[in-house]
Chains A and B, each alone.
Chain A
Amino acid sequence: MRLRFALLLLVLSPVMGQRPLDYDRSVVSQVRIDLRELGYPPVDVIPTEESAVRALAVGPDGALYGVTSGKRSHLFVLHPAHGYVQPLGYLKGVSTVYNSLAVSRKGEVYVGSGDKDGHLFRYSPPANEDEQPIRVDAPVNVTDLGAPVAGEGTYALAISRGSDTIYGVTYPGGQFFSYSVAAGKFHLSGKVAENPAPGENFEQEKSIGRAIIVGDNGSAYTSGENGALFRAAGTSFQKLPVSLPGVPGREPFQRVDAWTAGPCGTLYGGTSDGYLFRFDPERLTIENLGKPLNQYRIRGLAFSRNGKLYGAGGDDDEMARLFSYDPARGAYELLGMIDVNRRPFYTWQAYVIGAMAIGLDDIIYLGQAERRSKLYLYYPGPPNRAQAHCAK
């Protein structure tokens, strides 16, 4: 009886909306995580219902750019020297941006709208960008580069900084395209999916990759129908003889959710079913590294200087969790829910992570994708004995 009461006491706290010390064991270590509001609250902040972050990218100078979705899409920047989020203005006529943000070697920022008839936009940061006032209710000055495919939006985007070629894939059609910065022209490469994945009568989506990565060889990779990988280089485009890992029978439902480049040209990816894999673009081999979480989705991946790969997982109706993978040991570490507790000043938890990027200073940025969203900063540990393991 006494044990029952003690147990009851232990578990009642979270039931009643409290945060007992025990709860902190289920979240990321509180000395490794922090957050930033998207602006200067309570007034000069990217508003509720316009703040869902699904795209982050780091420029060659270390500036972190992000773009939001909602009633309006806003572009923002975080200069590490200052550490705060600076809203740059909203993208006129744009409400949705998926994982479609890239920064060129010159530091120009490219955004692909996910709306129907979504255009590609270029933002050229002024030299004194960080001296500009916060712009929340004013549009950001961008160049409209046109729409890759009429009636479609951009679902994912990446840039080859070597060739200044932007690669993208459209939604809902799954048209792969490239855009030459020098020529200012789009090239339609082919479709990654011809047919919708099998499903119920309310399911009519094609399995289009949610992320594109450009490898050391300058080629771009994503996934398509039946989980197959596709490769594009310049104007060439082909389906590869490899597919995403997963439970046999679920191939039609698999998508690549996130990519990151590892050491020695190896690419790491995460699938919509929540598996981590390693892809060798030279040998065209895929290794299934297993499933770090008992959840769907890998919402972002980033390789830290400490030799570990960091990722965030969890579907839209779950609670996001952070994990790391150490290629040297082949071991996962489950880091917990993404929750910041700086009481009495601020506290906030991310249930849905929409994007992830790593800064030049090795800080991992996580963008939240909810009605009220913030930017999270995760500080990986220092380099350990096993540096930059080349797993081939």
Chain B
Amino acid sequence: MSPYFISLSNPLRFLCVLCASAVVVAAGPVKLDHRLFPGLHHADGNWAALLAATDGKVYVGLAVHGGDGHLVYYDSKADRVHDAGNLTALCGESHLRRGPQSKVHAKFGEGKDGRIYFGTHGGWWFNYARFATKEGYPGAHWMAFDPRTGRVEDFGLGAPNEGINTGAYDPLFNRIYGLTHPRAHFVYYDVSTRKAVDKGRINNWESVCRTLAIDDEGNVYGSFDRGRIFKYDPRTDSIHELSVQVPIREKGISLGRDYNKSETAFRTMVWDAKTRQFFGVDESATILFSFNPRTGGDGEVRRLGQLAIPELADKREAPYATLSLTLGRDRKLYYGAAGREFDYSGSAGLATSHLITYDLNTGKTEDLGEMLLADGSRVLGTNAADTGPDGTIYLVGAIEVRPQPGKPVEAAGKIGDAYYRLALLIYRPR
């Protein structure tokens, strides 16, 4: 049994109770500003692909299942949204008639040269019946967008037949890292040497860790097995399986989704340059933890609390963690918590997301309440977050679309009985 399993006999339960008691529940909703993606209302998802760059531009990867994903950016200084292009076309594959480049499904990174680095991903997999066939997805490309020219450089096919499910860019070693879907290989592209490397399989296809986290020394961390953490060291070009484990809620006991979802990995982690450690949440119950990679031989993981909506945190139906975690300039973690199991059209039902904070200085968790737009429309879920240079919190997610009489509904699909489309959500902390 996992040492993190919450049981009456487990002393950690007391810690959990203490954490829960430290949660402040807000009375009212939190109002967010937002920007739509013009002409791209059919974009149906976004996962992790959000970067608030140092020049004030905010990059977003928009997914279109069965079609071409788009790279867009919001120029916060000019207050304009730009479409940098159709990913399939940017990869030179518009005429292939094969599986399109439907997504950027992983984090972007900003290089020392100011370019934005990323890898692409496929959309539909047809239960892998088309994997490695002539009509199947050709594979992910490594790419860079140059904001000075507005052009994308295609470094070529990086992972044949597979997509970059998870990714991160390291400016120190100038490399784009990825975990592939479906075969869960650890891959990278070294921009300086223009070399693509496949280090082999890490995990099983349905439990590919959704975040690769990089410390300030260029070491890359991911999770595998039952919450274990691996470390890739670029100096030795080798992967080490660490002994530390992420706190996860044991499968098959309380979640009611044990057949359909992996719940064995950290969902996302962010680096805190001040304390030189990571903060992250697990997939299963949004358990908040810190991971200090420099403590002891293999680092140290500490459980800090839970970032699920407080009323749901201990429930069987605690929603699967989202990818919306960012560290604000105010030393608070901001987390977009789902009100129900959220995955765009695949969501369990309709609910409004909450914005939750965790203050790294005080250890206090605060539920800021339901996220609503200025017109009262609901934020139905988010799956990416980042912090701008001025402290603005950005999220990408699904917002409610209210049909207008006599006008066509501009939506990507439905969540429950509500239409939704994607939007960039903007929160400015006080």
Point out which of B128, B203, B241 has the most chain A C-beta atoms below 10 A from its C-beta. B128
A36 at the A/B interface (Cβ < 8 Å)?
no
Which residues of the partner chain A approach B201 to less than 8 Å between Cβ atoms? 351, 370-372
Of chain B, the residue at the smallest CB distance from A318 is B132
Residues from chain B with Cβ under 8 Å of A48 in the complex:
239, 241
Which residues of A are found within 8 Å of B262, using beta-carbon distances?
A: 17-18
Per-residue contact bits, chain B 120-162, to A (CB 8 Å; 1 contact, 0 not): 0001111111011100000000000000000000000000110
**Nearest-Cβ distance from residue B42 to partner chain A, whole angstroms:** 11
**CB of A5 closer than 8 Å to a CB of B:** yes
Q: Chain B contacts of A238 at CB under 8 A?
A: none
Question: Is the beta-carbon distance between B208 and A17 smaller than 8 angstroms?
Answer: yes
Pairwise interchain contact B124-A15, C-beta atoms closer than 8 A:
yes
- Chain B residues near A347 (CB-CB < 8 A): 204, 206-207
- The answer to whether the Cβ of A250 comes within 8 Å of any Cβ in the partner chain is no
A49 to B259, CA, bound (A): 29
Of the candidate stretches A6-14, A201-209, A301-309, the one touching chain B is: A6-14
Contact A343 B346, CB 8 Å, known A317-B160, A318-B132: no
**Chain B: interface residue total (CB-CB under 8 A):** 50
Chain A residues near B250 (CB, 8 Å)? Answer: 344
In angstroms, Cα B260 to Cα A19, docked, is 5
Interface check A319, CB cutoff 8 A: yes
- Interface on chain B toward A: helix, strand, loop, or mixed SS? loop
Q: Which residues of the partner chain B approach A14 to less than 8 Å between Cβ atoms?
A: 125, 127-128
Which residue of the partner chain B has the closest CB to A52? B200
- One of A8, A13, A49 near B413 (C-beta < 8 A): A8
CB neighbours (8 Å) of A317 from chain B are 132, 160-161
Q: In this assembly, does B261 line the interface, its C-beta being within 8 Å of a C-beta of chain A?
A: yes
With A295-B132, A317-B161, A343-B252 known as contacts, the answer to whether A20 contacts B260 (CB < 8 A) is: yes
A348→B345 contact, CB < 8 A: no
Say whether, besides A8-B44, A337-B128, A17 and B206 are in contact (CB < 8 Å): yes
Q: Does chain A have a CB within 8 A of B175? A: no
The residues of B that contact A21 with a CB separation of less than 8 Å are 259
A349 in contact (CB, < 8 A): yes
CB distance from A98 to the nearest CB of B (A): 18
Task: With both chains docked as a complex, state the minimum distance between the C-beta of A44 and any C-beta of chain B, in angstroms.
Answer: 14
Residue contact B44 to A11, C-beta cutoff 8 Å: no
A22 interfacial contact with B, CB 8 Å: yes
Which residues of chain B are within 8 angstroms of A337 by Cβ–Cβ distance?
A: 128
Beta-carbon nearest neighbor of B224 in chain A: A372
CA distance A264 to B99 in the complex (A): 47
| Most chain B C-beta atoms within 10 Å of own C-beta, residue among A23, A25, A371 | A371
How many Å lie between the Cα of A18 and that of B320 in the bound state?
Answer: 12
Q: Does A235 contact B (CB under 8 A)?
A: no
Residue from A5, A15, A372 in contact with B125 in the complex, judged by beta carbons closer than 8 Å:
A15
Interface flags for A329-351 (1: CB within 8 Å of B; 0: not) read 00000000100000110011101
> How far apart are the CA atoms of A78 and B23 in the complex, in Å?
53
On whether the beta carbons of A319 and B261 are closer than 8 Å, the reply is no
Interface string of B246-289 (1 = CB under 8 A from A): 00001110000011111000000000000000000000000000
Closest A residue to B383 using CB positions:
A16
Identify which of A18, A26, A295, A348 gathers the most chain B CB atoms within 10 Å of its CB: A18
Inter-subunit contact B259/A19 (CB<8 Å): yes
Tell whether A384 is near chain B: CB-to-CB under 8 Å.
no
Task: Indicate if the CB atoms of A319 and B131 lie closer than 8 Å.
Answer: yes
Residue of A nearest to B162 (CB): A317
Is residue A42 within 8 Å, beta carbon to beta carbon, of the partner chain? yes
CB distance from B295 to the nearest CB of A (A): 21
Tell which of B127, B165, B208 touches A25, judged by Cβ atoms closer than 8 Å. B127
Task: For residue B238, give the distance in angstroms from its CB to the closest CB of chain A.
Answer: 9
In the complex, the answer to whether B260 meets A18 with C-beta atoms within 8 Å is yes
- Contact among B45, B127, B132 with A26 in the assembled complex (CB-CB below 8 Å): B127
Query: What's the Cα separation between A370 and B47 when bound, in Å?
Result: 28
Q: Is the CB of B132 within 8 A of A319?
A: yes
Name the interface residues of B226-247: CB closer than 8 Å to any CB of A: 239, 241
Answer yes or no: A294 CB below 8 A from chain B CBs: yes
| Set of chain A residues within 8 Å of B413, measured between Cβ atoms | 5, 8
Contact A343 B251 (CB under 8 A): yes
B359 within 8 A of A: no
Complex: A42 Cα to B224 Cα, angstroms? 12
User: CB of B400 within 8 A of chain A?
Assistant: no
Chain A residues with Cβ below 8 Å from B208 are 17
User: How long is the Cα–Cα vector from A351 to B198 in the complex, in angstroms?
Assistant: 15
| Shortest Cβ distance from residue B408 to the other chain A in the assembled complex, whole angstroms | 11
Give the shortest distance, in Å, between A316 (CB) and chain B (any CB): 10
| Least CB distance, B256 to chain A, in whole angstroms | 12
Measured between beta carbons, the chain A residues less than 8 angstroms from B340 are none
Contacts of B210 in A (CB 8 A): 17
CA distance in complex: A36, B47 (Å): 34
Other A-B contacts than A21-B259, A315-B132, A371-B202, 14 sampled, CB-CB below 8 A, are A11-B65, A11-B124, A11-B125, A12-B343, A15-B65, A17-B208, A19-B259, A23-B127, A26-B128, A318-B161, A337-B128, A344-B252, A370-B201, A371-B201
9 A-B pairs within 8 Å (CB atoms) are namely A8-B66, A12-B65, A12-B343, A17-B207, A22-B127, A317-B132, A319-B128, A343-B251, A343-B259
6 closest Cβ pairs, A-B complex: A371-B200, A344-B252, A344-B251, A26-B127, A12-B346, A318-B132
